[in-house]
Chains A and B, each alone.
Chain A
Amino acid sequence: EPEVTQTPSHQVTQMGQEVILRCVPISNHLYFYWYRQILGQKVEFLVSFYNNEISEKSEIFDDQFSVERPDGSNFTLKIRSTKLEDSAMYFCASSDESPTNEKLFFGSGTQLSVL
């Protein structure tokens, strides 16, 4: 079964540093998403991306965050200056249909630890 791949699985960084989390969505998917989950808390929506632009974003997704699809396969989340509260598991997801379907395929996540 095709799957969403995320790298790295763990990322440790110092506060104030930039991090880039990488994702390879399922190849024929058109809609891409980033979610995050702080330990013990809900899965929170960050941003959705379609047709090379952001479709929707949450309040969490402030100017420190950006997303990019630099080529035909990768989808990245950049945090410019990490804060302690950015420590979380970050999940990438993709889907092949319009949001009406609401069937997303999630990756296994990148555990980001900001020290």
Chain B
Amino acid sequence: LAKTTQPISMDSYEGQEVNITCSHNNIATNDYITWYQQFPSQGPRFIIQGYKTKVTNEVASLFIPADRKSSTLSLPRVSLSDTAVYYCLVGDGSSYKLIFGSGTRLLVRP
């Protein structure tokens, strides 16, 4: 399983765009990149998944450069309710387990 590195925490203000970058230098050819969000006292929630280039859904965008050694989760116009921990996971799905790192604790201020 590829190891991931994310910033421990980030601060932002309401209405701003937030970009959280994850490094995964030893990502394998078959690995996908998946992001989860976790609010306090709740289970993680799937946000977005990608393999290369750009993926966008109603919640976020995921940018993956050509070398795939990093990825950036982009949250447009954050609100207070986006305050949460965001996890980047990398894997090829050959294992039946997801390994969560420490994640990035995002605090959105008014």
Contacts and interface: CB of A to CB of B under 8 A. Distances in A.
A86 B29 CA distance: 38
Given A102-B49, A102-B89, A102-B91, A43 B96 contact: no
B97 A106 contact: no
Contacts of B44: 43, 91, 104, 106
A18 interface: no
Interface string A49-80: 01000011010000000000000000000000
A99 interface: yes
A100 interface: yes
A90 to B, nearest CB: 10
Contacts of B32: 100, 102
Interface in A82-114: 89, 91, 93, 98-109, 111
Contact of A48 (B42, B87, B97, B103): B97
Interface of A: 4, 31, 33, 35, 42-45, 48, 50, 55-56, 58, 89, 91, 93, 98-109, 111
Interface residues of B, number: 25
A29 B28 CA distance: 28
B59 to A, nearest CB: 13
Contact of B42 (A55, A98, A102, A108): A108
- Give the 10 A-B CB pairs with smallest separation, nearest first: A106-B43, A100-B93, A48-B96, A55-B96, A56-B96, A43-B100, A45-B97, A91-B43, A99-B93, A102-B34
Given A102-B32, A102-B89, A93 B43 contact: yes
A55 B34 CA distance: 21
